[in-house]
Each structure stands twice: as C-alpha cells, then as structure tokens.
C-alpha cells in the first residue's frame, strides 16, 4: 500500500468512534468551549497565554541554546526555566541598593541576572565601574530600551534618551546654558535671595521643613530657567504639576519594575484586560510631561511678546535667535528640543537640591559636633551676617560638610542604568549587546577600602585625610555625566563662576589611549589658572586634565585624581610692562651690541623654516617650552635627504640633557 494511503487509513481509523461516544464527546467539548470563552475567563487567560508565548520566544532566542564556545556571563544566581532570575529581583519594601549588596557579598564586584532574556550587570567594584562606564563609554553610554518610558513620554528628556544625534543636540543646548558666565552670576543672586526666603518660611512653620526645601528649590530654578516667580504663599499650580512629574520620573525608570518593559507586546492589548492598568498610568504621566514642557515655555514666549519677561535661560535662548525686527527664528525641531531641555533642568536641579538639603539636616541632627564646628566657622568668618555664595572660599569646613552630605547619603544610591551598544568581553566574562549596566553608587561611596569609617559623618576626610571627592560618583559616569560637572571641577579647585574665564587649557600630549577602545589620536590638556594676562601661566596649576577628541570636537573624558587639592593662591611678584615707567623707565647706561657678518649670514630664513649647512628645521615658540626645534631634516652629502620629523627638541630639554650629561 502506498505511504499516502496508509497514512489516510490511520487518520481515518483514529476518528472512527462509536456514535454514542462521539455524541458524548461533542457535548463535553461544547461545554468546555462555553466555559473557556466566558468573558471573565478570556480576560484572565489571554494575557497570561500571550505573555507565556512571548517569554518562551525570548528564552529560546537569548543564546542559551546556541552552540559553540562562548564566554560566560558574570556570576549570578542560577536561573529558572523560561523566567530566568525573576525571583532575584528586589522585593517590595527593600531598597534596591541593599538588595544588590547581597550580590556583592556572594558574587563579587561584578555580577549579573537575566530575566526573560534581558541581562542586567550589577557593578560594585570601583575598577569595574571605571573600566566599563568610563573607559569603555563608547559602548556603554546608551540607555536601556524601555517601552514604558516611551509610553509616558519621558524619552523626550536627555536623562532617559538614547545616545544619538538628538541626545547630542540636547546636551549642546544644556551646555550653552550651564557654561554662560552671565547667567551663572544671575543664578548666584537668585540662590541668595531664595535662601533668605527659605529662612523666613522655616521660622514661621518649622514643622514643614521638607516642603520649604521643595519651595526654595522650585523657586530658584524656575526663576533661572523661565523667569517665573512662584506664589509667595500657599501651593503654586506649576510647582504642583512639576512635583508630580518628578514623582512619576522616579517610578518610571526603576529597572525591571514594569512588565511591559519585559514583554513589550503587552502595550497592544486592550486596556480593559486585567493587568493592563499600566496603560492608564502611562497616559496620565504622558499628559503631565506634556504640560510640564509646554506651559512654562509658552509662558516665556507670551511674556516676551508683551516685553514683560524676566531674564532667564529660555528667554536668552529665544533672544539669541531673534531677527532684527524682533521675530523669533525657532523652527519646530529647535522648539521640540528646548522645551524638554528646560523641563528636565528644572526637574534635575530641584529634586537633587531637596535630597542634599534633607541629608544635610539629618546629618546635623545625628552629628551635633559637626554642626557646632561648622557654625563656629561661619560665625568667625562672617561676623554675624548671613552668608552669601561668594563666601564659599572662606568656609572650607562648610564646603567639606556639603561634600560629606553628598557622600554619606547619595542622591541616587543606584545610578540610572546604562546600556551596552555592543557585546563586551571583560575579565573573562561576556556582556551581551543590549545588557543593562547599573552601578551601586551607595557602595562606591561607602567602601571601607576607599573611605575610612564610611558610615560616620566626617567632613575632615576631605580636609585632613584627603579622601576621594564624591563628585566623581555623584554626578554620574562616562558620557552620561552631569552636564555641570566640568564647571564643578573648577568649583572644587576653589575657582568661582566669575573667574572661570581665567582658566586655560594648554594642549599637551597627542597619542592613543587604550581606555577608550579607539584608534583616534586624542589630546590631553594641562589646566591652569591665570589671574592676569601677564602672569606666568604655570604658577597656579589645576589638578584635572580633560581629554579632547579633535575629530568629534568635544571633550570625551576628564581625568580626576582620587585625592583632590584646592588651587594655591600664594602671591607672586610680577614685572608688567606698565611698571617700567613707575620703576624709573628703561636703563640708559647700556651700550649697543653690534654684530657684523661681512659675507652675510650663513643661514637662510623662510618664514619659520631655517636652512643652515646641510640642515633644515622649523623653529617655533610656546609658553611651556620656549624655543622649539621641529621637523629636523638632514641632506646626506647633498644627495639623499634623511627625514626625521619625529625629532623635536626644546631649549629646556637640551639644557636638562647637558646638566645630566646625557
């Protein structure tokens, strides 16, 4: 019998049943179908069935069944079938950083979990954070692809944006604001004013201290960003909306907290199904984010039309793009960029300010001896008046207290996650493309190997023991570092915003740097402070060095030593040209020195190139080395030229070689 006929007979035999049994079976099947397709059953089962199918697909395509030798993931708990390490996620009520500290104890400075195909790398080691988030920032500067972030509209903010051209544009706009000296001075004045208003509010109702902190931070940053003055008493409507936005942001980006991030297809299911409440939440938060970015911006635009606006970041940006007739030249793309940049600047600055102030108050209550010492310094330096920002240089202990508050109770115990844009092999482990990388800022700032007695509040660690400044951790890592960090380095060195234009960078070495996994030649600069244009530039060196990528035309990294030192301000004796007449004018007893060469000079000079005998070379001058000879060439017997453009000598190096006999 042919195979096809055999199969047909088998199938036919399978379906030959007695009439009574067939009738009973059909009745049972009908009953089952009626029960299964009741609306309540469909609502409960369909999402679970869809989730199961999708997770099974993810599990089968995560590479676990691929053959061939592959490096292992960093150590972590043993995964369960299909769901992976879903039981290893932080439980409700347990702070995330505390949960991950258990991983450090069990698995070491680098560990991992994988949930439904999404790998998360947890970093506790200082070297691991430096290597992966700083040195390999070209591969780890992205953000994890979060479906819920996009549903809430939070991807419009630079904090949550993917590392792309739009991110770079937003970053550039933010730098234009933070690097403007004029606006910086105005910001100092606003902070002084709002600080005094804060004191009045605290005196009136000390029981509302945290709310007063929020009001002070909101008032200062809204005034700077939009020129908006909040209501003097009671709740301000704009502040209330923005506070709700910040609360939503803090909940939106918690890793692995929203099921739709793990199973993106859930966003296509109807909202009435069980488990779809996240869709209602996303719609509400999207509307709030839209209000926060549009309403303050439109407020400034309307005020500018009436010419009643206060100077602010947004108004300055719009004025810079004005035509002579006063009409703004802002295209839709620029407007879409400036609105979220301004919005997140408010959110980021106000939220962090409240956190630091709250930590400061808690520390002063728990450590009254520190409070007494700081108060004595203020009384001794200011003589009873209220401090201003310009008094910072005279209050080193208070400045150390602020640093210690940021270290002792960090704003973000676990940093905002990074994402790997390519597979990384590190220390024998494999970090897959798309992995989420999180660093435990809490542990980095409480590691006993870095900070002595880390749980105590001790500002002396920055004054006496020279322990590492927490800014390197608090302000983020790699290319996701806080935009104000470069200005912050000047502050750490003791330079006020009004003096930042006196900070110079001297291009130094040009070479490759293996830390950045690149074949591009990078340039490092020596930074120094030059109070007067006639001062010797190396009198006041600074302790940080930016690294510049000339092809991308931007600073890609800042080398910061673990032990910081403030700028020295010892007075120097200058002899300026203007002092010549004051000190008696030029000397008049000198005789002229005359050198005569009857047969003309033995060298030829063409611009910067000198030809002498069989030698040709370039001659130059810079402030660091003085006279420099470069591009040195020698004509061998007038027939063959030996190119030695790598030879470069300066007068100081020649003298050193002579002294050392080398």
Whole-angstrom Cα distance, residue 121 to residue 419?
10
- Per-residue CA distances from 206 to 209, 213, 411, 512 (Å): 5, 11, 23, 57
Distant-in-sequence, close-in-space partners of 660: CB < 8 Å, separation ≥ 6: none
Whether residue 491 contacts residue 178, with contact meaning beta carbons closer than 8 Å, is answered with no
In 190-326, where do the E strands start and end? none
Whether residue 79 contacts residue 114, with contact meaning beta carbons closer than 8 Å, is answered with yes
Which stretches within 409-474 are classed as H helix?
441-444, 460-463, 471-474
CA atoms in the 13 A half-sphere facing the CB of 422: 9
Three-state DSSP state, 150? helix
Residue 19 structure tokens: 């009439």
Whether residue 366 contacts residue 357, with contact meaning beta carbons closer than 8 Å, is answered with no
For residue 192, count CB atoms less than 10 angstroms from its CB and return exposed for 0-12, middle for 13-18, buried for 19 or more.
Answer: middle
Whole-angstrom Cα distance, residue 134 to residue 198?
38
In 422-521, where do the E strands start and end? 424-426, 429-431, 436-439, 503-511
Q: What is the DSSP letter of 459?
A: T
Compute, in degrees rounded to 10, the torsion defined by CA atoms 9, 13, 16, 17.
180
Residue 482 known to bind ligand: yes
Residue 113 structure tokens: 């979990």
Whole-angstrom Cα distance, residue 389 to residue 368?
24
Whether residue 384 contacts residue 339, with contact meaning beta carbons closer than 8 Å, is answered with no
Distant-in-sequence, close-in-space partners of 193: CB < 8 Å, separation ≥ 6: none
Three-state DSSP state, 629? strand
Residue 528 structure tokens: 């120094």
Residue 187 structure tokens: 């910001």
Rg (CA), the chain: 33
Three-state DSSP state, 231? coil
- Length, in residues, of the chain: 662
Residues paired with 522 in a beta bridge: 511, 549
Whole-angstrom Cα distance, residue 458 to residue 148?
41
Q: Which helix (H) or strand (E) holds 291?
A: helix 277-306
Residue 521 structure tokens: 């030649």
Which residue, 318, 319, 320, is CA-closest to 297? 318
558 Rama sector, left if φ>0, alpha if ψ -120 to 50, beta otherwise: beta
Which residue, 151, 170, 484, is CA-closest to 339? 170
Which residue, 161, 144, 162, is CA-closest to 255? 144
Residue 361 structure tokens: 């108050």
Residue 127 structure tokens: 């070297």
Pairing of strands 615-622, 609-612: antiparallel
Token pair 């100077």 is found at 311
Q: Which residues are annotated as a binding site for heme?
A: 482
Q: Which residues are annotated as a binding site?
A: 482
């Amino acid at each position: 019998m042919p195979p096809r006929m055999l199969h047909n007979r088998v199938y036919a035999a399978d379906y030959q049943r007695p009439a009574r049994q067939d009738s009973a079976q059909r009745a049972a099947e009908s009953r089952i179908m009626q029960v299964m397709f009741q609306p309540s059953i469909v609502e409960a089962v369909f999402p679970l069935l869809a989730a199961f199918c999708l997770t099974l697909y993810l599990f089968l395509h995560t590479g676990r069944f691929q053959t061939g030798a592959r490096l292992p993931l960093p150590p972590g708990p043993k995964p369960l079938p299909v769901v992976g390490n879903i039981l290893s996620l932080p439980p409700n009520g347990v702070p995330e950083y505390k949960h991950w500290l258990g991983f450090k104890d069990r698995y070491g400075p680098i560990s991992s979990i994988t949930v439904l195909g999404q790998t998360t790398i947890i970093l506790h080691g200082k070297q691991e954070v430096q290597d992966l988030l700083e040195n390999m920032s070209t591969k780890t500067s992205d953000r994890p692809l979060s479906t819920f972030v996009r549903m809430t509209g939070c991807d419009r903010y630079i904090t949550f944006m993917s590392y792309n051209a739009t991110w770079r544009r937003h970053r550039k706009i933010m730098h234009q604001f933070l690097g403007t000296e004029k606006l910086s001075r105005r910001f100092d004045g606003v902070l002084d004013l709002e600080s005094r208003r804060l004191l009045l509010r605290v005196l009136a109702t000390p029981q509302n201290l945290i709310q007063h902190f929020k009001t002070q931070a909101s008032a200062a940053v809204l005034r700077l960003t939009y020129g908006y003055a909040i209501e003097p008493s009671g709740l301000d409507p704009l502040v209330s909306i923005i506070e709700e936005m910040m609360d939503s942001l803090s909940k939106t980006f918690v890793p692995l907290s929203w099921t739709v991030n793990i199973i993106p297809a859930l966003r296509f299911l109807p909202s009435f199904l069980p488990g779809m409440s996240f869709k209602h939440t996303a719609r509400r938060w999207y509307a709030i984010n839209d209000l926060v970015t549009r309403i303050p911006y439109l407020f400034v635009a309307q005020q500018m039309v009436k010419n009643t606006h206060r100077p602010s970041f947004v108004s300055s940006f719009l004025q810079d793009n004005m035509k002579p007739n006063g009409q703004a030249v802002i295209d839709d793309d620029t407007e879409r960029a400036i609105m979220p940049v301004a919005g997140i600047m408010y959110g980021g600055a106000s939220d962090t300010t409240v956190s630091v102030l709250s930590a400061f108050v808690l520390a002063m209550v728990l450590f009254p001896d520190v409070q007494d010492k700081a108060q004595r310094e203020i009384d001794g330096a200011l003589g009873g008046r209220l401090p201003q920002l310009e008094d910072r240089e005279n209050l080193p202990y208070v400045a150390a207290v602020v640093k210690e508050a940021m270290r002792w109770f960090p704003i973000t115990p676990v940093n905002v996650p990074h994402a790997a844009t390519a597979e990384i092999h590190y220390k024998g482990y494999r970090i897959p493309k798309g992995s989420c990388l999180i660093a435990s800022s809490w542990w980095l700032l409480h590691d006993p190997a870095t900070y002595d007695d880390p749980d105590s509040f001790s500002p002396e660690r920055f004054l006496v023991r020279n322990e590492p400044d927490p800014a390197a951790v608090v302000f983020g890592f790699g290319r996701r570092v806080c935009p104000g960090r470069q200005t912050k380095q000047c502050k750490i060195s003791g330079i006020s915003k009004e003096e930042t234009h006196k900070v110079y960078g001297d291009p130094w070495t040009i070479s490759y740097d293996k830390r950045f996994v690149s074949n591009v030649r990078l340039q490092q600069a020596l930074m120094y402070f030059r109070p007067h244009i006639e001062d010797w530039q190396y009198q006041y060196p600074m302790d940080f060095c930016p690294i510049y990528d000339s092809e991308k035309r931007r600073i890609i990294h800042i080398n910061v030593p673990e032990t910081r030192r403030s700028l020295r301000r010892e007075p120097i004796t200058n002899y300026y040209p203007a002092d010549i007449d004051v000190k008696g004018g030029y000397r008049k007893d000198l005789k002229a020195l005359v050198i005569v060469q009857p047969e003309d000079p033995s060298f030829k000079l063409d611009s910067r190139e000198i030809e002498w005998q069989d030698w040709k070379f370039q001659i130059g001058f810079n402030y660091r080395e003085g006279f420099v000879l470069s591009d040195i060439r020698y004509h061998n017997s007038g027939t063959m030229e030996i190119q030695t453009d790598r030879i470069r000598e300066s007068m100081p190096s020649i003298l050193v070689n002579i002294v050392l006999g080398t």
